[in-house]
Amino acid sequence: MAQVPTSAVAAAGLVGGYAVARFTRKRPLGGVVLGAAGIAAGREWYRRAGTPAAAALGTLYVAAFAGSHPLAKKIGAWPAVLGVAGVVATASWAVADRG
C-alpha cells in the first residue's frame, strides 16, 4: 500500500483547518482539522525521521499556523495560509518524505 506523503497531510491540515473554520464559521471545528492532521503527520514524522526531526517539523507546523495570522493582515488570509502550508510541505518533504 502506498504511503501518503506527510507533506500533503501537513499542508492539508493547515489549508483544510482554515477552510473549515472560515466556511462553517466555527473556529474550534477548524482547530480539530488542524490538530488531527498535525497529529497524523507528527506520528509519521517520528516513524520516518525520528524524534528530533518530528519535534522540529511539529514546531514548524505550529509556528506556521501562528505566523499565518499576522501575515494575513499584510497579504490576505488565503495567500498567507497557502504560503505557510507550502513552507511546511516543503520542509516535511525534505525531511521525511524524500526517499
Structural domain boundaries, residue 58? 6-97
Query: Does any domain span residue 1?
Result: no
Say what the pTM is: 0.94
pLDDT in tens, 17-44: 999 999 999 999 999 999 999 999 999 9
Answer whether residue 64 is part of any domain: yes
Domain count, the chain: 1
Residue 73 lies in a domain: yes
* Alpha-carbon gap, residue 42 to 61, rounded angstroms: 9
The CA distances from residue 82 to 43, 47, 50, 51, in Å, are: 23, 26, 27, 27
Backbone angles phi, psi at 53, to 5 degrees: -65, -40
Q: What are phi and psi of 69, to 5 degrees?
A: -65, -55
Query: C-alpha angle 74/76/77, rounded to 5°?
Result: 125
Is 75 inside any structural domain?
A: yes
Please tell me the predicted confidence (pLDDT) of residue 1: 46
Any domain includes 61 = yes
